Structure 1
Amino acid sequence: MDARALRRAEEASSKHWALSRTFFILLIVILIMYIIYIYIAQKDVYKYKPIYPHWKKKQPAFTACGVPVQNDPIIKVNNLKTYVVSSYIEHREEVKMIRTITIMFRSENAEYHCLLCCNGQNVSVPATYDIHSDHFGFEYGTADVTCQVPKKCTKPTHVAITSQTSKEDRSLQDIHAFQPVRNQEERKDFPYNFTVCISVMYDYDNVLELVQAMEMFKILGVQKVAIYRTNCHPDTQKVLDYYVRQNFVEIIPWNLKPYITVSRGWKKLVSPGELHYFGQIPALNDCVYRYMYQSHYVALQDLDELILPMKSKKWTELLPELERQYNQMGGFEFENHYFPLSIKDPRPEYSPDSWKKVMGVNILEHITRISNDPTQFNNFKVIVNPRLLFKVTVHGLLQSIKGSVRVDPHIARMYHMRSIPNEIVAKRSKKQDTHLRDYADSLIPAVSKVLEEALGNY
């Protein structure tokens, strides 16, 4: 090969190498840009990370006495149709007891035992059970399983309910999990003055009313809201997470569907199922015990209900007056008054334009109250001293130390915003009641602030 041909070959090789290098560099740049794009896209998709516990990555199980520990409801009792909600030390008996709130198949006759984790050892003791009377004819009902704590067990930290004794070989392998025994100390001073129990949240997308309820609770003097949550809309979850970050809301996971067919109502013939209304009653009982030594008072109500004083603006002023007037009863009953959602008074000063972008009811637009039918049972909700209670139901107390009393509606009443059948609305007399708007000056800016911080450009 002559020099000219050799030079041409070298130039061609050089051009080929330069082209290959350029292509390789371009490929690297494209790959880097693609990685950056994926990162930004994923970052945007997951910009909102809910803090609801069941959405977290599952953590390694903690064990006690060689058994996994589960903090949340629901735990199945080995081969029975019984499900454990939570366990508590019962300080009001002559001997030290553990009370476990359960959901029980009423026709199943079983012998129960408490397996206690005491001082690093498993101790089995016999238990008794008591099914609450307010099962509304459903197959399952709320029940208490109680067992006496042996004297040698100075501090039972965890418990499992079983139908087997610890002497049987299969006892430990049949236990799904231990759960912590709460209320270890009988406290006299409480971190909260008022706690509200909401049971249960399911298919919930009423975002605006949720924020309004939370901010009204704050205005009334509430420091904690416990919500037994089954499921909700993503925007609802964002609001819940906002209040969890504030330490204002505690979310208790509440999903019975994998175990029991729950009813969506309280009448079995109308709402088929095996358990009344999503398991509302065991949730209420759990909430009373959960906050028994955390809160001076506990209110048992729904998110579309507000107990409002008539002569003052806060529960902190109302409850001491009720204690004096009614001689420190176990619970105070507040008469229900309906405000139909079909009747609205949308005035601009009570209906900010920005709120109209948010799903849900604006409670300030509903000021028409319909009369109650004196011939029918009139619902009520209660604010209770939890340390005076043993069993609660949807409307009132099943077992208590001092009972409850109906509060004069001229002192305080419950404002209940909900859909009412038109034929009922037509039959009842109607009256304008604007008392809720007395809170508007504080409520409106508070709600707008939360919507902005929790939902952003809503």
Structure 2
Amino acid sequence: MTQEADKDVIAEDEELEEFPPVEENIDPLKAKPLIDWSKKLTEVETLYGLKKTIPSLPIATLLDYRFHNMRGDSNCATFPKVYELNFNNMYWQQQETSNGTFFLLNAYLDVRERNRNGPTVRIMSTMDRIEPQVKAHCQLWFDRIKEPIISEVFEYKYMWFHRWGNYRNGIPQPYILSCKIPETHWKKQLLSVSIVEDPCTKPTNMLKVHYNVPEEGKPKEKFGICVKGLTFPDVDLSLRIIEWIELLKVLGAHKIFFYEFKVHPNITKVLNHYVETGFIDVTPTTLSGFLPNEPDLNNLYLKSVGSTQFMNELVLYNDCFYKNMYRYEYISVLDIDEVMMPKQHDNWEQMMKQAVLDSIQLTNASAAVYDFRNNILTI
């Protein structure tokens, strides 16, 4: 054995000595087994745990027995139990109709001043039809009101352009469904919404209506970042993601919102670290309908059918927009290989102050959207 090899053996032995020595002559009858003695969760505690896993579920409402009792004698739309909801691929809820199937992801309350329709519920969804030929309704469930308020879906906002491909029935098409809240209920607490065809049928879906506003007394943050569903099950991009996150932090990002299909274990460790610091948020996601969601098959499918990936991205991007529209002054869409890099300023805040001034000089108004030139660097 060479001297160099001897050094390697010694080094390995020294590393082994760092571990605590194994106790000998242990009485197996007195040894304590490594068993988790945590308290067993009750059914209610288990369901409340789903608030993080499936944020669309109105858990508190579904488990409020007083709420159920109030609707026990309802003449319209019996209130469902949590086990009666129809789920699709974990994070989507499903509603069959006479002409197609809705897959529902999340619902948001839109009370923006420029919303010409007044307070509105926006529902992120897909449907396996290119043009919905069904008269759908929203059942709006308010706190301590016996029956749901019925509001017809007045808009099916298509989030796709037919020339981009996949414009055919059978493939989940991205839509935002919109229902107006009657003026008589503007000041009442809206808890959840269900999509049905017949206004008085018992729903098989119920989405929590999110209204994410800053804590009282706190202003909007400046910059929130939305990132499409990550799908890197077998590629370790952890170092690249760290560099990207830290660069965005320097430029002025307040928080990054990721959606995740499946990623390499090292990427998961990185994401978990930044979640603990509060700088990022990670939302697990799947494809709706019959599309493949087994991690490796999902990754191959999205790579081979680019238009399907883009259609799904539009649902997630809009979900991110509506989730954060009250909390951030600017929301940007970026991939993990993209950065808005100021050429004349040190950070985004300085850059956007100048952009707003330039916009007002040109049009006498600030713009609703700012577009940045894309430059591809090959290294």
TM-score, normalized by the shorter chain, greater than 0.5: yes
Percentage of matched positions with identical amino acids: 20
**Shift in Å, 1:62:** 3.5
Q: Distance in 2 between matches of 1:133 and 1:85?
A: 17
* 1:259 to partner: Cα distance: 4.1
Q: What does 1:44-443 align with in structure 2 at a 5 Å threshold?
A: 53-54=52-53, 61-64=59-62, 65-66=67-68, 67=80, 73-79=91-97, 80-91=100-111, 92-107=115-130, 108-121=132-145, 122-128=148-154, 129-134=156-161, 136-138=164-166, 139-153=171-185, 154-166=188-200, 171-172=201-202, 174-183=203-212, 190-203=219-232, 205-256=236-287, 259-261=290-292, 271-272=304-305, 275-277=308-310, 279-327=312-360, 328-340=366-378, 343=379
Give the Cα–Cα distance (whole angstroms) in 1 for the partners of residues 26 and 335 of structure 2.
58
Which residue does the alignment assign to 2:27? 29
The alignment partner of 1:303 has SS state of coil
Q: Give, in angstroms, the shift of residue 54 of structure 1.
A: 4.3
Q: Residue type matched to 1:230 in 2?
A: F
Q: Distance in 2 between matches of 1:133 and 1:259?
A: 19
Task: Tell me by how many angstroms 1:183 deviates.
Answer: 4.8
* Cα distance change of structure 1 residues 297 and 197 upon mapping to structure 2, 3 Å threshold: same
Q: Distance in 2 between matches of 1:286 and 1:229?
A: 14
2:357 partner SS: helix
> Which amino acid in 2 is paired with 1:235?
N
Secondary structure class of the residue paired with 2:271: helix
- Return the letter of the residue paired with 1:31: L
Structure 2 Cα separation of the partners of residues 274 and 68 of structure 1: 37
RMSD: 3.7
CA contact (8 A) 1:203 1:232 kept: yes
**Partner Cα distance (1:313, 1:183) in 2:** 30
- Residues 261 and 274 of structure 1 are in contact (CA less than 8 Å); yes or no, is this contact kept in structure 2? no
AA of the residue aligned to 1:200: G
Summarize the Cα distance change of 1:32–1:255 in structure 2 as closer, same or farther, 3 Å threshold.
farther
Deviation at 1:184, TM superposition (A): 7.3
Q: Quick check: 1:256–1:278 contact (8 Å CA) kept in 2?
A: no
> Counterpart of 2:370 in structure 1: which amino acid?
F
- Tell me the CA shift for residue 85 of structure 1: 2.1
Change (3 A) 1:189 1:73: farther
* TM-fit CA distance, 1:134: 2.9
Q: Is the 8 A contact 1:100 1:145 kept in 2?
A: yes
Residue 30 of structure 1 aligns with an amino acid whose one-letter code is P
CA–CA distance in structure 1, aligned partners of residues 165 and 94 of structure 2: 22
> Which one-letter code corresponds to 2:194 in the other structure?
A
Question: What is the letter of the counterpart of residue 164 of structure 1?
Answer: D
1:83 partner letter: F
> Structure 2 counterpart of 1:117, which letter?
W
Q: Give how far 1:335 is off.
A: 1.5
Asked which structure has the greater RCO (Cα within 8 Å, sep 6+), the reply is 2
Q: Is the 8 A contact 1:90 1:96 kept in 2?
A: yes
Paired with 1:322 and 1:210, the residues of 2 have a C-alpha distance of: 28
**1:30 is paired with a residue of what secondary structure?**
coil
Decide whether the 8 Å contact of 1:192 with 1:296 is kept in 2.
yes
Whole-angstrom distance in 1 between the partners of 2:288 and 2:343:
41
Moved more, 330-339 or 252-261: 252-261
Secondary structure of 2:272 counterpart: helix
The CA distance in 1 between the partners of 2:288 and 2:118, in whole Å, is 37
Contact 2:103 2:127 in 1 (8 A): yes
Q: CA contact under 8 A between 2:213 and 2:326: conserved in structure 1?
A: no
Distance (whole Å) between structure 2 residues aligned to residue 257 and residue 97 of structure 1? 24
User: Alpha-carbon deviation of 1:141?
Assistant: 2.3
The 1:264/1:190 distance shift into structure 2, 3 A limit, reads farther
Rounded to whole Å, the distance in 2 between the matches of 1:32 and 1:60 is: 48
Aligned length: 292
Structure 2 residue identity aligned to 1:149: I
Query: In structure 2, what residue type is equivalent to 1:63?
Result: T
Report the residue type matching 2:159 in the other structure: H
Shift of 1:31: 3.3
Change (3 A) 1:277 1:308: same
**TM-score after normalising by structure 2:** 0.67
Deviation at 1:245, TM superposition (A): 1.1
Residue 441 of structure 1 is matched in structure 2 by none
State the shift of 1:258 in Å: 6.3
- Higher Cα radius of gyration: 1
Q: Does the CA contact (< 8 Å) of 2:172 and 2:289 recur in 1?
A: no
Alpha-carbon distance between aligned partners in 1 of 2:107 and 2:261, rounded to the nearest angstrom: 21
The residue type paired with residue 146 of structure 1 is S
